[in-house]
Homo-oligomer: A and B are copies of this chain.
Amino acid sequence: MRLTLIAAQSLDGFITRHDTPGSNFASAEDRRFFREALRSFDCCVMGAVTYRTARDTIRASLMPDRLRVVITRSPEKYASDVISGKLEFACTPPAQLVADLRQRGCQYCAILGGSQIHSLFLEAGLIDELWLTIEPQLFGEGTPLLARRAAAKLTLLSSQNLAPNTLLLKYRVEK
């Protein structure tokens, strides 16, 4: 299974603008790219904070054959949100979760944040590619792309403009 981390950040590496949760700072072009990109993944994984921030949007856009898994220490709290095969909650460690998804026939998994989830999967050596939208802003403060120290080397696969001032950079994570 291939895992791709997809995120939008300010030029200086923040996935939120200061203390404001979510990625509302991202351009319309990035949101369109993100919606379309997700169609090429048969599953995606996010943390509970990301889920709670975007809960209504996520629940309104569930699709058959596209499993969304929310990682949380307390899956039982979300029992009433579960829609089996579409929206599930788990406290499974990354490698075990990937093995489970593979066994269920998933081939392409998008890792959708936040920074704790990014670090968790990167540290486990499970991220194959990073698709990062660079918005033309400097925040100086906010949630960083990664929650903890890392030492990952990347190979640039492509660089394209999503909008005149917005870049989409795709990298392979070296293993």
Give how many copies assemble into the complex. Answer: 2
Residues of B within 8 A of A119 (CB): 140
B140 touches A18 (CB 8 A): no
For the complex formed, measure the closest distance between the CB of A123 and the CB atoms of chain B, giving whole angstroms: 10
Taken residue by residue from 152 to 175, chain A's Cβ proximity to chain B (1 for < 8 Å, 0 otherwise) reads as 111110010100111101010000
Of the candidates B140, B147, B149, B152, which one forms a contact with A149 in the assembled complex, judged by CB atoms under 8 Å apart?
B140
B146 touches A12 (CB 8 A): yes
A59 adjacent to chain B (CB < 8 Å): no
Residues of B within 8 A of A139 (CB): 149-151
Residues of B within 8 A of A171 (CB): 11, 136
For the complex formed, measure the closest distance between the CB of A57 and the CB atoms of chain B, giving whole angstroms: 25
Residues of B within 8 A of A81 (CB): none
Residues of B within 8 A of A147 (CB): 140
Q: 8 Å CB contacts to B: which residues of A111-131?
A: 119, 122, 130
Q: Which residue of chain B has its CB nearest to the CB of A136?
A: B154
**Known A-B contacts A136-B153, A159-B167; A144 and B18 likewise in contact (beta carbons under 8 Å):** no
B149 touches A18 (CB 8 A): yes
Give A residues with C-beta under 8 Å from B. 9-14, 18, 119, 122, 130, 132, 134, 136-141, 144-156, 159, 161, 164-167, 169, 171
- Ordered by A's residue number, 16 sampled pairs between the chains whose C-beta atoms are within 8 Å are A9-B13, A12-B13, A12-B145, A13-B13, A18-B149, A119-B140, A130-B138, A136-B155, A136-B156, A138-B150, A138-B154, A140-B144, A140-B146, A141-B150, A155-B165, A159-B159
